[in-house]
Structure 1
């Protein structure tokens, strides 16, 4: 028997609370992108401060990214499971607290010696990754359970699109801080003064401010009606919670007669029955996320070339502030022209053409772009990094976000029953972040030269870029053969325990 409170959620009109939930839930994704994309310009400052006005080694960049991703893997698994066991709301504030405190702690990385600073920064970024990882399954699940079935995809995509604004914010903050410190510095041309050590710490600490501002609203959010009704089996409380946030008459959501006591099915997570019913869905979500993150985080392959040719990061006449400004400016332009449009094109089309089609479109065009860059790379692009190269580079981000980078966040929040939803989203995301770690390690391999670490090796870059195109085609195949469409379906379709 369909519960009235859940049927009302499926057809509820778009209300102010939906947009409020997008902002509150999206701040975790905002912080995630801010802290990831502020690292490249910050590394320019750290290189000039702790490496005698030289660039930091490639391995330092990749390790700082990888250590945060490792924390994300753990956070997704732990918080995803807790979200199903004790409730989404009860652990939602905890993940945000870890993010905010870790962002601040990154700025207070102890010591002034190079090794000590990098080790402490890596430790706090690991904790930051744990908080960010916990936010992924909780934000996606909460938004999916509050939304109606007609616009659910657009709402979850809008939450994820906050990453684009996080990228833009990190770039703007970096440019402003770098400009202010540079303008007040009296150091000789090309020399980075000691006070630059304060600037990169300030940039990191400011990343926690937007998330901290939403903490109160997270704590005031009620538990989702779907969790309360289907997992806790408290339909009366679910109706009362829904009434608090949505303008729906109580007569439409209160049951007309007492419901029979029917405890939820007892088969456990990852049991034979679970895999028989949900194994294909879990495989498709995890595999797609794994493949797209390999490609998405390997985008640094391009940036090493762009920084070397356009930003001229080895220019002895530029200090750390100026180099950080140039890198941040490039990232801001890329976010405005490519990344953010990709997110919002998905928001517009996700409930019109479906998740599967968008994911296949994204994988296909990403593959074509990587082949267009990779096949002639050694013979042409390696010595002709021009506007054409930048357009192709921007298209990889556009079709990643108008494609699998967004849909892999959406689909796991829709495919699984309420008692497994957050856990399965966490598992899928954790497998994806393992792919991201592989991508960052591949960045080290592909960018190293046989004798130097200054310029990318053209032969390795060619092979790596073509392999990324192949990975995209594998993702296309996984999507076509294994991923089920969820557009227009009620989340309760997956609550049917009939073995058929």
Structure 2
């Protein structure tokens, strides 16, 4: 059995680049495009839905979605993704490595999706964009989209390219550990002196540091959590363990989408969005995200380094091949189970 599996893997390793490779790249890219469209643009859509369908004539503030509707709109795509990945992939366990990949992906997505979905509220809270009451719907969406695009271009996209350039030099483990570390540092640096960053002369500094959390998310665990589960488990379990790890990530995204929707609300009832109870505020939400990133750094210690090793070396499949050869040469030899 091991020899047959290695034969398949060797054939894949020796195969030349063909048309189906590019087909796979395009399919994967379109899948991520639709995923990103649902998850990263939904914050702008909810703004418009609130203004259009929940507008109250004479109100001081523009309309906003009620908490239950906002939670459903933000979370429904993530719930569907989680169910799909579990339905198709949930079969077996693979020890501490699987624990490491699932927990790190889970913790990352709590922090990463929370930041993406609610960065519009953070920009308003520090005064980088005007309050919603001072803008019409088109102006508000434009301001938010411009801010998010600026951060994406200067940090998110740049972080991915740093990972592409350095992943086989620094290694997966080092990049993931470094990413979680700096995400933790910058979250605490934003949260602890939070009042300092809300002052007008310091707003640009806040935006720069906030952008760095996205940079080190993508030059860090938001890239490596996709890669590692596909490299560190045997071929017969690879898609299963990757699916379980990805499902854990989407579970974390659901926690972030639903939990921080309420948590980031002001502690002052007079300053919360319509229909929301008081939360813990932006400052303590950032502290909580910093703690989550710190635990992600700890659970990264369960993930082995796969740089410079073949899939067979990482999963021990070469040992199975060698054991079979030695048994054929010496039938009296027993192999430990």
- Decide: shared fold, TM above 0.5: yes
Give the direction of change, closer, same or farther, for the CA distance of 1:462–1:327 in structure 2 (3 Å limit). closer
CA offset digits 1:286-323 (Å, max 9, x no partner): 0101111111122145430203523324245x432222
Task: Indicate conservation of the 8 Å contact 1:301/1:461, yes or no.
Answer: no
CA offset digits 1:142-162 (Å, max 9, x no partner): xxxxxxxxxxxxxxxxxxxxx
Matched with 1:46 is 49
Aligned residues: 304
Tell me if 1:286 matches 2:294.
Answer: no
Tell me if 1:473 matches 2:291.
Answer: no
TM-score under structure 1 length normalisation: 0.56
Give the direction of change, closer, same or farther, for the CA distance of 1:361–1:13 in structure 2 (3 Å limit). farther
Matched with 1:405 is 222
Q: Flag structure 2 segments of 5+ consecutive residues without an equivalent.
A: 57-61, 324-335
Give the direction of change, closer, same or farther, for the CA distance of 1:419–1:6 in structure 2 (3 Å limit). closer
1:464 CA displacement: 2.2
Matched with 1:348 is 165
Write the distance in 1 (CA, Å) between the matches of 2:197 and 2:65: 24
Give the match's secondary structure for 2:264.
Answer: helix
Tell me if 1:388 matches 2:208.
Answer: no
Counterpart of 2:36 (choices 11, 24, 33) is 33
Matched with 2:281 is 460
Give the direction of change, closer, same or farther, for the CA distance of 1:469–1:304 in structure 2 (3 Å limit). same
1:7 CA displacement: 2.1
Write the distance in 1 (CA, Å) between the matches of 2:19 and 2:268: 58
Matched with 1:99 is none
Task: Indicate conservation of the 8 Å contact 1:41/1:324, yes or no.
Answer: yes
Matched with 1:491 is 311
Counterpart of 1:451 (choices 263, 269, 284) is 269
* Mean CA deviation greater in 324-333 or 50-59: 50-59
Task: Indicate conservation of the 8 Å contact 1:77/1:423, yes or no.
Answer: no
* Mean CA deviation greater in 29-38 or 455-464: 455-464
Task: Indicate conservation of the 8 Å contact 2:101/2:228, yes or no.
Answer: yes
Give the direction of change, closer, same or farther, for the CA distance of 1:24–1:41 in structure 2 (3 Å limit). same
Give the direction of change, closer, same or farther, for the CA distance of 1:461–1:322 in structure 2 (3 Å limit). closer
TM-score under structure 2 length normalisation: 0.81
1:462 CA displacement: 2.5
CA RMSD of aligned residues (A): 2.7
1:46 CA displacement: 1.2
CA offset digits 1:174-219 (Å, max 9, x no partner): xxxxxxxxxxxxxxxxxxxxxxxxxxxxxxxxxxxxxxxxxxxxxx
Write the distance in 2 (CA, Å) between the matches of 1:444 and 1:383: 25
1:447 CA displacement: 1.9
